[in-house]
Structure 1
């Protein structure tokens, strides 16, 4: 069995192994393939900003009708999990999210012959910034970057 990244942004959709995970991906979102092979292959999602600020919130796309599980901070030093099916279900301070897609290429069909694909969203950042995921009322998943300066 060969596992390849097969992650792309096509026509404003984030597609993983032929399954649409996010729709309405904005033009300022960029995808950089990882350098790993096999199970280590993946991609980095980034964003471009017009101005330097200490807080950036970038919508990365709309999440609808796909099950997910995430871990989020609900107190300064405690995390718990939550499950949902759309972007507005993603809580503030989400540290990690796994999205399940099964069925046809649109991500919404329930086809038993199609394999289930799990997509992991893990906010990473270098330097003095911190990074988390969150949802909004438009079912968008957002990445929040802040330096505190």
Structure 2
């Protein structure tokens, strides 16, 4: 007698097979989205991994997990490797110029604000996310630096249009030399949908925060 099928695994397999080609591709020093170059002059130590290859399981609620996997072809993770372990590592994610972006950066410990620009050199220190306009495909791409292990990350400006990522542990006793998923990238044709989808993916991957849709609302006086 055959064992009963697992509905969760069956659904996951179906979602994985529904889309096989990722929207992003890292090749020859270029990160392309739907065959259009987004970042160029990417160092050879930078990697890209599809969402589904990194996040194969999660303790997030099943509906969120299924939603993230159904859209996994639209995003993935950037990582990098360096020769020496350190508690603070900075690496270029590539270059972009002449491309409009909007971002949020932290200018004080507890304060963030908006910033706009056209190149990686315009990005501010401690940037929490960057949304790039990609008119070639009538879409938008967001780059979100995230947490990996005991390291947090942020985007920084580089020279000649390069955008850097800085990963740091905050302790000289905690060092690393490589990261598989230190930033997340996602594409959508609607900026509002983009942020919802991207943060759903990050929430499912990290499982360290909840989306607003998961939180209970309160009425005045409670």
1:6 aligns with 2:23: yes
Does the 8 A contact of 2:156 with 2:163 survive in 1? yes
Partner of 2:127: 94
2:138 to 116, 119, 131: 116
1:6-26 alpha-carbon deviations (Å, 9 max, x no partner):
201122111011221101011
1:39 to 71, 82, 88: 71
Per the TM alignment, residue 124 of structure 1 is displaced from its structure 2 partner at its CA by 1.2
1:142 to 155, 164, 185: 164
Number of residues paired by the alignment?
A: 137
Q: Identify the structure with the greater strand proportion.
A: 1
Where does the alignment leave 5 or more consecutive residues of structure 2 unmatched?
Answer: 1-17, 53-67, 172-222
Partner of 1:65: 98
1:69-120 alpha-carbon deviations (Å, 9 max, x no partner):
11000111010011110011100000011111113xxxxxxxxxxx312111
Length-normalised TM-score, structure 1: 0.85
Per the TM alignment, residue 40 of structure 1 is displaced from its structure 2 partner at its CA by 4.0
Q: Identify the structure with the greater helix proportion.
A: 2
Distance 1:117 1:100 in 2: 7
Distance 1:116 1:11 in 2: 24
Length-normalised TM-score, structure 2: 0.58
Larger radius of gyration: 2
The CA RMSD measured in Å over matched residues stands at 1.7
